[in-house]
């Protein structure tokens, strides 16, 4: 997987350099001219529709590093595309607003489709969501596509038709138990694996029709454990792929956008529950922040429709618990990265459109690094705009400042 994703990054850099000249590969954070100024990209968007809010001044922001408020040295509003949906109706910026930079030469957008999370029967949902992304990006944007796991890896390119053609090869790869004896859902398997007291009710229910079989309780537990193990393997496949992708995206210049399309990352919300992926999902979120990635997670809730389809064969007795369980891990790592999480029931279009609006522009704030902070360790960033009403703020939460002896 590392070699595969390394090739993706190489493709991305070649694609960009061919179109726009040589590409630099800065490591986060970015510093200017040895001055020790830390650059923090901040998205400020309207809660209602995700439209970027421009016209803000440095006095309207509060920046803290490790809980200590810091002075903002400069502020710049950068358009990553020439316009965005709804821009034509937005209020004009005030005269006191800082000058905005000209649009950059297109956004860098990576789309990752979590094939390991989609059952084969829901392949169409994964392809539809990916197609919506291609339909929504601007012509000047660089778009790439990776499947996790899988062989599709296209670096950021303006040849969007290449991405569209590759989407036809997306296929669900989630493995479900073959001919299970018992009617155990994913969340129920988690309870059995965790030896939760409530699992007794599951055993009683499944053994009621085979009361003479004294081994039935053990057989129910064993089948639940096998299903839980499969869920953990699925989650690890997704996490390993995301780790490699995010590490590779560090080499791409500036602020990047990652749209992660998934049918869920199974994780128990109970203390000590299985699958337990809290450490792994927090690590993925941390890597997204380090890579300066704006993260959008589209949780394709295919589980409800699948549970009541003719192909399901059995009634899922814990469908709403399953929906929560598969969304738990995705929501957790989206939050840890300072990203956005959307649960999509059927159609991804309004959520994709919102992601495209939000990523169309960002503020770049600079603050001075103190000598004590130049220790090569992680420091935690918090950005607020308390007087800006009805706004959501997204930004990287972590910065690693090189030691003072390092050359900037």
End-to-end Cα, the chain, rounded Å: 32
Two structure tokens written together for 326: 């598969």
Residue 338 belongs to a domain: yes
Whether residue 338 sits in one domain with residue 267: yes
User: Residue 234: which CATH number?
Assistant: 3.40.50.410
What integer pLDDT is reported at residue 405 of this predicted model?
56
Residue 59 belongs to a domain: yes
Which domain, by its residues, includes 211? 108-176+204-358
Whether residue 281 sits in one domain with residue 161: yes
d(CA 305, CA 298): 17
364 Cβ neighbours under 8 A, 6+ residues apart: 39, 40, 41, 42, 75, 76, 77, 78
Residue 182 belongs to a domain: no
Residue 12 belongs to a domain: no
What integer pLDDT is reported at residue 287 of this predicted model?
87
Two structure tokens written together for 1: 């997987």
* Sign for the pseudo-dihedral over CA of 179, 183, 187, 190: negative
Residue 141 belongs to a domain: yes
Two structure tokens written together for 282: 């927090």
Residue 3 belongs to a domain: no
What integer pLDDT is reported at residue 148 of this predicted model?
94
Whether residue 67 sits in one domain with residue 91: yes
Query: What are the per-10-residue average pLDDT scores of the chain (408 residues)?
Result: 48 44 38 62 91 94 94 90 44 36 71 91 89 91 93 94 96 75 85 84 88 88 89 87 92 88 80 71 84 88 56 57 83 82 72 86 90 84 93 86 60
Which residue's structure tokens are 């390993």? 240
Whether residue 115 sits in one domain with residue 82: no
Residues comprising the chain, all counted: 408
CA-to-CA dists, residue 142 to 139, 145, 155, 192, angstroms:
8, 10, 9, 46
Whether residue 386 sits in one domain with residue 272: no
Whether residue 281 sits in one domain with residue 237: yes
Whether residue 112 sits in one domain with residue 37: no
d(CA 337, CA 289): 5
What integer pLDDT is reported at residue 267 of this predicted model?
77
Whether residue 95 sits in one domain with residue 153: no
Residue 22 belongs to a domain: no
Residue 116 belongs to a domain: yes
What integer pLDDT is reported at residue 99 of this predicted model?
41
User: Structural domain tally of the chain?
Assistant: 2
Whether residue 284 sits in one domain with residue 394: no
For 378, the enclosing helix (H) or strand (E) is strand 378-384
Phi, psi of 157 (to 5 degrees): -145, 155
Phi, psi of 394 (to 5 degrees): -125, 135
The helix/strand/coil state of 96 is: coil
What integer pLDDT is reported at residue 252 of this predicted model?
86
Find, among 263, 265, 238, 267, the residue nearest to 346 by Cα.
Answer: 263
What integer pLDDT is reported at residue 80 of this predicted model?
75
Whether residue 244 sits in one domain with residue 148: yes
Whether residue 128 sits in one domain with residue 247: yes
Whether residue 371 sits in one domain with residue 286: no
């Amino acid at each position: 997987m590392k070699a595969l994703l390394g090739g993706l990054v190489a493709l991305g850099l070649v694609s960009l350099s061919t179109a726009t000249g040589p590409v630099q590969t800065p490591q986060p954070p970015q510093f200017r001219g040895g001055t020790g100024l830390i650059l923090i990209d901040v998205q400020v968007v309207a809660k209602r529709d995700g439209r970027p809010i421009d016209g803000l001044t440095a006095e309207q922001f509060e920046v803290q590093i490790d809980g200590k408020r810091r002075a903002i040295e400069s502020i710049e509003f950068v358009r990553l595309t020439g316009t965005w949906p709804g821009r034509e109706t937005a209020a004009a910026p005030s005269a006191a607003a800082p000058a905005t930079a000209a649009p950059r030469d297109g956004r860098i957008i990576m789309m990752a489709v979590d094939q390991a999370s989609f059952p084969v029967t829901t392949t169409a949902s994964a392809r539809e969501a990916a197609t919506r992304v291609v339909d929504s990006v601007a012509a000047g944007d660089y778009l790439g596509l990776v499947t996790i796991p899988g062989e599709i890896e296209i670096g950021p390119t303006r040849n969007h038709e290449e991405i569209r053609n590759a989407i036809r090869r997306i296929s669900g790869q989630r493995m479900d138990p073959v001919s299970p004896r018992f009617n155990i859902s994913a969340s129920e398997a988690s309870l059995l694996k965790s030896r939760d007291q409530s699992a007794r009710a599951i055993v009683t229910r499944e053994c009621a029709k085979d009361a003479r079989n004294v081994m039935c309780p053990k057989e129910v537990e064993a089948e639940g454990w096998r299903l839980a193990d499969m869920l953990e393997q699925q989650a690890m496949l997704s996490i390993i792929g995301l780790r490699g992708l995010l590490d590779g995206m560090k080499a791409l210049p500036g602020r990047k956008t990652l749209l992660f399309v998934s049918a869920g990352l199974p994780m128990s919300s109970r203390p000590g529950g299985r699958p337990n992926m809290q450490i792994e999902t927090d690590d993925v979120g941390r890597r997204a922040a380090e890579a300066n990635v704006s993260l959008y997670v589209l949780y394709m809730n295919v589980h409800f429709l699948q549970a009541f389809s003719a192909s399901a064969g059995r009634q899922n007795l814990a469908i709403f618990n399953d929906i929560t369980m598969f969304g738990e891990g995705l929501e957790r790592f989206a939050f840890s990265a300072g990203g956005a999480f959307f649960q999509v029931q059927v159609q991804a279009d309004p959520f994709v459109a919102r992601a495209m609006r939000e990523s169309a522009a960002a503020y770049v704030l600079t603050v001075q690094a103190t000598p004590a902070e130049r220790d090569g360790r992680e420091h935690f960033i918090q950005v607020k705009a308390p007087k800006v009403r009805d706004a959501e703020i997204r930004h990287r939460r972590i910065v690693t400042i090189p030691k003072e002896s390092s050359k900037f």
